[in-house]
Structure formats: structure tokens, C-alpha cells
A and B are shown apart, each in its own frame.
Chain A
């Protein structure tokens, strides 16, 4: 019990000493800086190092190492972040603390940062190193971080114990304050089509600081809405006091008259602060809605409208119009650049037009806008392309233009004045395109500086080039694809030929049969011819040759060497008589030595043809 009481007394003493080491607030820090609980008064802040008088670091004091530990604040509300500090006196390097620290159950300590410094001890300046931990508790109660040892360049240093009391928030405590989003839209009447100078403000609080704004949308209100890229931090005077806020410029354009509420929605990224005002290392993302802002939108007055009004609402000035050339040629285009400078709906302004007439031909002008997103001020550049039609032209005509001033609530005339130009007939030599101010006869010094040459219409082609029937590629015509078939068919034919040749090389009987049939046909033709001539001997010879050719076996045997028996072996018996008679006729003629009876031989022609056909049919 005694030991416990002693420890408690030591703890209290250590904490008291630690608190005593925190100097008073430096100048410039608000004395009403909120605390948790807010009723406890200002939070002591670490003084800037420059506030201490300069003393040289005492090397002897460096040898006396010691440590302190404390909670800030010593009484913490649940669900809030506090700070646990461990300060090593006597050194700022070579320090090793246990990781993790011996924290009691229910208390979470996260190292946030560590910072070297100096302290004055007994009139001597010594080096220090302070470790800051973010503290959060899971439940109310009293938590004791016990004493532990740290190592400083091999020397053991004992860090004393420290205690923190965690309580549930009471009715006197201020609630947690998240960041707040506000639509900054000045009060007043607006007009349909006017670009409103609106901003989205997200204010920091003692508990949170906003890091970034993303994805701004407009869930309500009859407005055209466009979020601008980029945000910046500003000190904003709001509700009677100056506050830090992240500001995003917006472009809101009412599209309907009447009273309407405008609200915005945005996703913000915040950094949660501890009760000392430092980052706790915890970040969060939240979707915020702004409070509705009621605005009254009116239609533009019909009375007092001036010529050339194309929807411009704001405050504008006209820059000096610039012609691309002081001299022009009939039929050749020139350009005129007009700049409109000011604040308002620059993007929505339609270009005032030059009507095409017998003097000038006009094309639809081109436009571009360059705007500073934060100030809202910008420049609209309108470029006209004009072609003079007659040489009597002396100037580009005036272009009516006017805008509506929402502050003065009246239309202001801003007509673009006529620009003098000299027009020559088309046969004249070309005029070099140097950009000079149209209103001034001589170029100004800045006009002489090198500029990017404007594109011009080039000359005519001197030669026609290759003639063809159509501008389309040849692939668009059928003959091209039909022509692709020629080489394909050639290769295909070659492939077929090769296959046939290879096939016949492995099947020579087919070749021989074909040759035998061809020979038989040839002999039959001779036989028919002989029959027509009534030449019996020639007929018999040709007929026997035809029968022999047809009957020749499919090997290397010569057809002329076949004898009667070999021929008869190839024939059915009913055809024997014709063959025997023909052979008999030949044998008689060859071996008897006298004339042969030829009666009826020539009538054998049909039978010979049938015999040849039968032999061919019976060949394998």
C-alpha cells in the first residue's frame, strides 16, 4: 500500500512537473483557443524556439540524461484525441524508445512526430528530443502508462509513468465540430443568363481542418453549374470573425426567372486535430451539403435593348481590333481579331455577326476564352474571316455589339468601330501578311516583334498529276478483286497439275491404258478410211492393229507382237469369228503367195468396232 501511494505521489509530481515545463502561450495565439472541455480554458501551446533567450549548449549538461512524460490534457473526453509527450533531456540523437509503448488496455498511443529542441535547466541550455503520441481511449476511466526505459546512445534512461483520466462528455462540453461548407453568393437580384460570382467555402474547425475539396455538384436550383478546377486557402471574414477556409470558385448561371434556392454538395477530405491543435494523423472523407441560399432571378428588361446584343451580361471593355493585313486583295481572305475583356458570362456570349453583302463575304467567327478562375476576370477573343468582293471597299464595317450591366441595370453600347483597309484587284501582287493594328497606319513596336505566321490559302496546282477515273482507291472497284483471282487460279492450277503428275507417276497402267485406247482409236480411223476407199488389205491391217492395240496387256509388251491366240484370250467367244477371219485373211496374204478373197471383209467394220469396245471393256 505504501509503495502504491508513493508511486501515485510520484506520478502526480511528474505530471505536475511536466505541466510546469509548458510555458505560457506565445503572443499571437488567441487566448480563447477552444479546449475539450471548452470550459477548462485555453490550451497551453509549445512556445516557438525563438522565444527563448540564446544560451550556448552546455556540454556538461549533455551528460546528465533524464526524461519526462505527460498527457495533454490530463483529463480527456471520450472520442477526442489527446497527446502523450515523452521528452528526453540531454540529447537529441541516438534515442530509442520501446515500440510499442507499454500502454494500458483501452488506451491507444500512436506516434505522430518527434522534434528536437533545447531547454534551459539551471541556467544552462541543454538539447532535448520530444516524442508526441496521439492518444485515444476506448472507454472512460483512469489510464496509467507505466515507467519504462529508453536508450540514449547505449545509456539507459528511465521515463517516468504518466496518467490520464478519460471521461464521458458532459452537458457543459462543446460537441465535436466537423468542417462546415457554405455557399458564398452575395445577396441581391440576378438576371437570367448572368454568371454569378459564387464560391464554395469549407471552414476549418478546432476539431478538423479541410485538406481538399472534390466532386462539387448542384443538387437543386434552376442554374447551369460548372465547378472550376483548383482550390486555395484563404482567411475569410465570415459571421463577424476571420476564419481559415478552403475556397473553390464556381460558375452559376440562372436559367429561369423567379425565386429559387441553391444548394451545393461536395466531397471534402479532412484531417482530424487533437486537443492541442495538432494533426492527430487521422484523416476522413465526408459529403457536405451547403445551406440553401435563396436568390431572386429576373428576366432581362426588354426596354432599352441596343443593337448587337448577343447575351453578354456583366462588365466589359473592348480591346483594339486587329486586322491581319492593312491591304487585301479581292477574293483573298483576311482576318480581324476582336477582344472582349471583363467579368461576366464570357463563354456564353455569341459573336456579333457581319452580314455577308456585295462588299464583304463573312464566315462564322471563331471564339476562345481565357479566364482567371479566382478573380473571374477574363478575355474573349473573336476572330472574323472576311473576303473583300470589290475594290471600292475602304473599311471593314462597324459591328454592332452591346451588353447588359447588371449593376446599372441597363444595356451598354460597345459597337466595334469600322477598321480601315485598302482592297486591291486580284491581279495585283500579293500582300505580305503582317499583323498590324488596323486603326494605325504604321505598325507599332510590338507589332514588329516576330509572331507566328497566320495560315493563308496557297496557290494553285501547276500540274494535274496522275489522272484516274475516280478518287476512290482501286480496292473500291470490283476488277481489283477479280484480278486477285488470276494469280490465285494460276497457283491453284499449278498445284492441280503437280498432283496429277505425281499420281500418274505412281500409276503407269493408267498412262498405258490411255495410250492403248488412243492407238486403237487411231487404227480404227484408218480402218474406216480404208473401208470408204474399198481397200480391203489396208482395212484388214488397220482393223487387226486396232484389235491388237486394244488387247495389248498393260505392261511393256508391244501390241504388234500379239498373235491370234493372245487376242482371243481377251475376248468372249461370240466375237471370235470376226477376229479369226481377219487374222486368216492376213495369214493367207502373207504366207500363201496368191491373191485373197476380199468379198464381205469390208462389211466387218461395225463388228471390228464392237470387238475393240468389248476388249477395252474387259481390260483390267
Chain B
């Protein structure tokens, strides 16, 4: 094997090792998770919520957020429940129970299903980090495979050129997902019931309408303690940031 191949392979392995080392280094508070789960099972949702909130302040996991959503829902907190489920769904899109709970809660509250663009739906097929790592590795692999032979004065082989084409293809496939992730980053959940939409970011601002608890809206700008959000049917206005939380803080 030539030196260029060794260097290319080394760079690739370096990326993969970095990605795996980040994943494998995540050891979490399992005891707190199972303690909260047991509390929900015996009906003590308040204790489960307190335990889970304390844990999630340090570390989060999709299962933990799913169970937190269940506890919040049973406590009648629809907004925090939907927020927890949305976060769990973003971390683990393959967990069908979270999807079912979101549909159930929205149906019960009379909330319409949120409308997503096709890029956002595409990006929801995998966890955002998976897309980002895939795009990163594909991009730098392609760059390395294209640049290294020239830099090392080695002849381009079919192996390097084929690898570059595959890496570029993978990177192009991730681009719509990255766009979707970017736009999903503006999504948030209304936490308080009957949240008032105001014309100006002030307490005395003219009231334009109300948003239901648990409704999804997109953040367009921020000013002080207020965020300007746009919900379904183009209902837009300023809301207090305390009554609204983005899915990805």
C-alpha cells in the first residue's frame, strides 16, 4: 500500500475513532432514570418529574425525556409534556412510542399536527447528530481523497477517485437534512396555557391572539425577554420567553 493510501486511511480512521469515542464516553445517571421510572409506575408523577428534571439538567437521554413527557402529561402539563416528547423524538426518531404520544396528546388537546417542510421530514429520519457526523466525515473524506494524492505527489488511483465520488455523494445526500435541521432549530413549544401573542415585545403590547398550550411555533427573532414566534396559519406575534421553549435550547 502506498503512503498516500496509508495517510488517507489514517485520516478516515481518526474521524471514526473520534465519533465513537464521543459516543462511548457517554455514561449517564442510570440510577436516577430507573428511580424516576419506578415513581411513574407507582403513580407518583410529581416525584418522577422532579427527579427527571434534576437529572436532565445535567444529562439527557431519549428514554428519560419520553418518561418525563408521560409524567408531565399525567400532571396536566401539556406544554412541558409535548416539549419533552419532541426532544425525545429528536434524539431518537425511531422510538415509536414517543411519536404515538405526541399524536395522542395533540389529538386530545385539539392541536393540529405541525406542518414540516420536506427537508425537515427528511432530517427527522435520523437523529441530528447522525446527520452531522455523516456530513462531516463525508466532507473531509472527500477533501482528503481529492487533495492527498496531489499533495503527496502520488498518482490518483481508482480507489481514491471512487472513494471521493462516494464521499461526495453521501455529503450531497446530507445537505437537505442539514437544511432541515437548521430550520427545525427554530421550532419551539408553547408552555403556558392561553399564551398571549402581542404586537410589540412589551407587557402592555396590543394583544393579537392566543396560542394554545403545547402548540408548535417557530422563533423568528428575539428581543429582551420576548421572542417573536410564528405558529400555524401564520399567527405571529411576541410572546414572553418564559412561556415558550425551543426544542433545541
Chain A residues whose C-beta falls within 8 Å of the C-beta of B88 in the assembled complex: 461
Least Cβ distance of A333 to chain B in Å?
6
Tell which of A367, A456, A460, A498 touches B66, judged by Cβ atoms closer than 8 Å.
Answer: A460
The reply to whether B103 and A461 contact each other, CB–CB distance below 8 Å, is no
Tell me, in angstroms, the Cα distance from A385 to B107 when the chains sit together. Answer: 10
Q: Which of A107-115, A470-478, A543-551, A612-620 contacts B (4 or more CB under 8 A)?
A: A470-478
Q: In the complex, are the beta carbons of B107 and A330 less than 8 A apart?
A: no
For chain B residues 18-39, which have a beta carbon within 8 Å of chain A? 18, 23, 26-30, 33, 37
Is B209 in the interface zone, CB < 8 Å from A? no
Known: A455-B100, A468-B59. A335 touches B132 (CB 8 A): no
- Known A331-B74, A455-B100, A474-B129; judge A491-B108 contact (CB<8 A): no
Complex contact B110–A466 (CB within 8 A): no
Closest CB-CB distance, B192 to chain A, in whole Å? 14
A475 to B64, CA, bound (A): 22
> Which partner residue on chain B sits nearest A462 by CB separation?
B63
> Contact between A473 and B132 (Cβ–Cβ < 8 Å)?
yes
Chain A residues with Cβ under 8 A from B109's Cβ? 363-364, 366, 385
Find B108's partner among A333, A468, A490 (CB 8 Å cutoff): A333
A211 located at the interface, meaning its Cβ lies under 8 Å from any Cβ of chain B in the complex: no
Interface flags, A337-366, vs B, CB<8A=1, else 0: 000000000000000000010000101111
User: Number of B interface residues, CB 8 Å?
Assistant: 68
A364–B110 touching, CB < 8 Å: yes
| Chain A contacts for B195, CB-based, 8 A | none
With a CB–CB cut-off of 8 A, which chain A residues contact B152? 494, 498
Binding-face segment, B139-147, B165-173, B200-208: B139-147
Q: Are B43 and A426 in contact (CB under 8 A)?
A: yes
| Chain A positions 486-503 with a Cβ under 8 Å from a chain B Cβ | 487, 490-491, 494-495, 497-498
Instruction: Enumerate chain A residues within 8 angstroms of B110, measured Cβ to Cβ.
Output: 364-367
Shortest CB-to-CB span from A389 to chain B, Å, is: 10
Stretch at the interface among B90-98, B114-122, B227-235, B236-244: B90-98
A56 at the interface (CB under 8 A from B): no
Q: Main SS of the interface on chain B?
A: helix
Check A335 against B61 for contact (C-beta < 8 Å): no
A335–B108 touching, CB < 8 Å: yes
The reply to whether the CB of B224 lies closer than 8 angstroms to some CB of chain A is no
Asked whether, in the complex, the Cβ of B128 is within 8 Å of the Cβ of A473, the reply is: yes
Q: Which residue of A lies closest to B247 (CB)?
A: A471
CB-defined contacts of B105 to chain A, threshold 8 Å: 457
Contacts of B37 on A, CB cut-off 8 Å?
A: 460-462
Is B179 close to A, CB under 8 A?
no
Complexed CA–CA distance, A128 and B27 (Å):
97
Residues on A with C-beta less than 8 A from B92 are 465
Give chain B residues whose Cβ lies under 8 Å from the Cβ of A363: 76, 78, 108-109
Contacts of B143 in A (CB 8 A): 487, 491
A473 close to B104 (CB less than 8 A):
no
User: Which 8 interchain pairs have the tightest Cβ spacing?
Assistant: A467-B28, A461-B63, A366-B110, A473-B128, A464-B61, A458-B97, A472-B248, A464-B63
Chain B positions near chain A (C-beta within 8 angstroms): 11, 15, 18, 23, 26-30, 33, 37, 40-43, 45, 58-67, 70, 73-74, 76, 78, 87-88, 90-92, 95, 97-98, 100-101, 103-105, 107-110, 128-129, 132-133, 136, 140, 143-144, 147-148, 150-153, 181, 185, 212, 247-249
16 A-B pairs whose Cβ atoms sit less than 8 Å apart in the complex = A331-B74, A365-B110, A460-B41, A461-B95, A462-B63, A464-B62, A466-B23, A470-B60, A471-B90, A473-B129, A491-B143, A491-B147, A494-B148, A497-B151, A498-B150, A498-B152
